[in-house]
Amino acid sequence: MNRTQKVITENFNTYKVEQIDKYIENGGFQGLKNALEKGKDFIIDELNISGLRGRGGAAYPTGKKWNGGRQTHADVKYVLCNADEGEPATFKDRELLVKDPYKVLEGLAISGYTFGAKEGFIYIREEYEFLHDKIRKAIKLAEENGYLGKNILGTGFDFSIKVFSGAGAYVCGEGSALIESMEGKAGRPRMKPPRIGVAGYMGKPTQSNNVETLAIVATVLKMGAVNYAKYGTEKSIGTKMISLCGNVKKPGTYEIPFGMSLREIIYDIGGGIVGDKDIKFLQLGGVSGPLMPKKYIDTKYTYEDLEAEGFGIGSGAILVADETKSVIKFLESVSYFFFHESCGKCTPCREGKRQMKKLLDKMSKGTATTKDLKNIEKISRIMTDASFCGLGQTAATAMLTAIKYFSPELCSSIDEIKAL
């Protein structure tokens, strides 16, 4: 049975960006109306009931973040929509922006109201350049219809949104690096504290949220948190956008209730494996996520069930690799990516990746020794513990889980050497 849902995605394929009237007919901007009418305490309560956790990957409770944020006082504050979706295997934010841009803008306006910002930015990655003008058009139409701009819905709330284009850097998904680039600099993460919520864009408090998070905020405030909370499990409330890809028959973006098993997702939604092959491993949450061997595919897709086994939801990416794929080749691709994307600021990340690349070359050539494997594990742990930002801290996750679950494959040559 295909258990996909249409809650966050309720408006998909119902309107084109020119048709803001259709969005409004579908109940669009009702979330914003409710928010402005009932006030900030109501918004926070609803978010808490909805159990919403940040959908960019960090999974921090949104209600908690927003409640803290609104208590920061400053003359000027900003809100951001982080549409720098750079995590390989992830494309659900792209789908949201393509198929329901107004819902994302609505969520950003609600975030601006709650945080006390008059100006918001939507930071869209360069690779989604085809979206930039579309979003600009949506902003303009929302302004013309009184949902953005001055005195929104006659409430006295002013809020405008600008599009900012990224320039191709994975690390800019990290909030402070993103802000550095918005200020005209190379996107290297900042030292924390202060966090961007205290001193972000132009030194002012800045609240950043992922695209999907903002779409859910608008959804929850429209339908009511109690209704949204009917989906999912007790601890993982609601629905989730996933990016299903790799060797599955029907790759794509789907909305599912938390609590489905990975097997259901892959076979009932994804149609199974291309060529009806067997699964070898999954990678959850994108390139920074762990490799999950096939034996775990009956695990439920919830925060708690995955965490209990050492995995995570991350960005919502589910990459499926069939039985014919080489773990070493896959790791080389992971390593190449991080090697390319490291900003070079801190030593564990910059040099760790250099060493990892060297050792992977040896593995690939079959000349790696047991000592090399121990070395690579040690370097991976140092990178995870000592890197400056999330990029370096997660760059070795795939390697560490490969060592845990697939060491015979990595070590085939090592045993021969030991026997000499």
Partner 1 sequence: MTADIFDVNKILKKYEYKDSSLIPILQEVQKLNEEKYISEEMAKYIAAEMKISKTRIYEVITFFSALNDKPKGKYFIQLCNSTVCEITDKDLIENALVSELGIQVGETSQDKMFTLEYTPCFGACDVSPAMRVNKVVYGNLTESKIKSIVSKLRGDTHE
Query: Which lies closer to partner 1 via its Cβ, residue 28 or residue 290?
Result: 290
How far is the CA of 366 from the CAs of 248, 336, 413, 418, in angstroms?
A: 30, 19, 5, 13
In whole angstroms, how close is the CB of 73 to partner 1 at the nearest point?
24
In whole angstroms, how close is the CB of 246 to partner 1 at the nearest point?
6
Are the C-beta atoms of residues 406 and 293 closer than 8 Å to each other? yes
Cβ partners under 8 Å of residue 206, min gap 6: 77, 78, 79, 80, 175, 179, 196, 197, 200
Are the C-beta atoms of residues 58 and 98 closer than 8 Å to each other? no
Please give the residue ranges that form the binding site for partner 1 (CB under 8 A). Answer: 85-91, 94, 125-130, 164-170, 181-187, 202, 243, 245-247, 251-253, 283, 287, 317, 319, 321-322, 325, 329-330, 333-334, 336-337, 340-341, 343
Are the C-beta atoms of residues 287 and 87 closer than 8 Å to each other? yes
Task: Report the alpha-carbon distance of residue 246 to residue 322 in Å, rounded.
Answer: 8
Query: Which lies closer to partner 1 via its Cβ, residue 50 or residue 288?
Result: 288
Query: Which lies closer to partner 1 via its Cβ, residue 225 or residue 313?
Result: 313
In whole angstroms, how close is the CB of 254 to partner 1 at the nearest point?
10
In whole angstroms, how close is the CB of 292 to partner 1 at the nearest point?
14
- DSSP characters over 167-219: -S-GGGGSHHHHHHHHTTS--PPPPSSSPTTTS-GGGS-EEEEEHHHHHHHHH
In whole angstroms, how close is the CB of 86 to partner 1 at the nearest point?
7
Cβ partners under 8 Å of residue 112, min gap 6: 79, 118, 119, 120, 159
Query: Which lies closer to partner 1 via its Cβ, residue 197 or residue 289?
Result: 289
In whole angstroms, how close is the CB of 252 to partner 1 at the nearest point?
5
Query: Which lies closer to partner 1 via its Cβ, residue 43 or residue 279?
Result: 279
Identity (one letter) of the amino acid at 197? Answer: G
Query: Which lies closer to partner 1 via its Cβ, residue 166 or residue 259?
Result: 166
Query: Which lies closer to partner 1 via its Cβ, residue 122 or residue 182?
Result: 182
Q: How far is CA 272 from the centre of its chain?
A: 24
Task: Report the alpha-carbon distance of residue 241 to residue 145 in Å, rounded.
Answer: 29
In whole angstroms, how close is the CB of 137 to partner 1 at the nearest point?
18
